[in-house]
Amino acid sequence: MEEKFSPQPQQPVPDQQQNLVIDAVRAHFIAKSTEALARLAVYTQKPVGVGEHSNIVGESISAVSDYESSQSALERLDLLFGNAPTERS
């Protein structure tokens, strides 16, 4: 009976580790940006579904601010590290 060898995944080399960290940071801010847009869409298009928020204007302002902050962080990352996520095989 032939035994199959399953190699252990290789540990990323230091440059790849840095890229993984930058990719994770970028993914975080993309998610925060998308979440802010989703909140704003709910507040402006379906305010009936936001029963616990009596201050829809204030919540909308907060969503816009969160979106702007995330976009600014993404732009800064692009300036510092480039804008393409690391390709891994």
pTM, two decimal places:
0.70
The confidence score (pLDDT) of residue 88 equals 46
pLDDT digits (tens, 9 = 90+) for 22-55: 999 999 999 999 999 999 998 888 766 666 667 8
The confidence score (pLDDT) of residue 89 equals 42
pLDDT digits (tens, 9 = 90+) for 59-89: 899 999 999 999 999 999 999 988 765 554 4
SS3 letters for the chain?
Answer: CCCCCCCCCCCCCHHHHHHHHHHHHHHHHHHHHHHHHHHHHHHHHCHHHCCCCCCHHHHHHHHHHHHHHHHHHHHHHHHHHCCCCCCCC
Domain ranges of the chain: 17-81
